[in-house]
Structure 1
Amino acid sequence: MDDMEREIRILAMQSAGWSESESKARMSAVVKRARQAVSGKMATYNGKEVDARYRMKVGTIIDWLQIEPAEMRAADLRVLIDTDRRREREAERQTESRRRRGAKDQNEQKAARLELGRKCLYLSAKDSMNRDDLAARFGVSTGQISKAMKEARVAVG
């Protein structure tokens, strides 16, 4: 056993908690391909010549190392993530992108719409204003007035 193989096995045992025999069994392909890469041997993959080193799928690495979603978040992993975490990260990127382009926070918009709805309900009851009058007064569309009033009615109960 050479230095490289010994180091690979030690890392496998330390990081995954595997026994020496399990590390040897699971890492044998990695060691073999690393030796091939060192000697300059290329492998054919999908009709192309590629480096001989073993390329594990992300899912395989996650399963073998038993990485939990909480660990993925805590370590802020960017590559070794499952599909749920990938979706979360994409949603975070989309939200951040919308904010950079000037989009407002949804909670702030909802609060503003509720406030508008309350004012409209008050004015329609007090001054008998219709949707067109309210829309003109607040400078918004009649659709926005309807939605705001509906949400305010639901909020009041």
Structure 2
Amino acid sequence: MLLPLFLPRMKEVVTSLSSPLHRPLPFPEISSFFLFLRRGNRDSSAPEKRRLKDFIHISDFDKETIMRILQKASEVKALLKSGDRAFQPFKGKTMAMIFSKPSMRTRVSFETGFSLLGGHAIYLGPDDIQMGKREDTRDVARVLSRYNDIIMARVFAHQV
């Protein structure tokens, strides 16, 4: 639920979507954001709506699901603006933030949002990780997923 800080832009994208969703987006920079949920309820016997799904691209979800996510994000944003800090869904969780393409706004919004929701974010800049050059992408993913609950990456589109 880190979406509250991206809410206005995401609403524009969702509003412009139509079925089928697998097509180029009107804002290509969004395709460079990835959020991988790596731990949690992945039990195949769990009810469908409670199973976690990797959020790799906005087109991985239908419009209705995205609208529900945005509605929840709006509720969380209002809660945080009211000063209520009781909602801590990421308490005790860590998020590795990979930045091959540095962005001050993205870093600050993710770190702040994750912290406000109880989590701890770890910044990994271009000098820390060089996927595909110094370190194999699969190895990076494997290692980071062992130690972190969430992996967020801001990369160049060709690195996917």
Where on the TM-score scale, by shorter chain, does this alignment land: which range? under 0.3
Structure whose alpha-carbon radius of gyration is higher: 1
TM-score normalised according to structure 2 size: 0.22
Q: Which has the higher strand share?
A: 2
TM-score normalised according to structure 1 size: 0.23
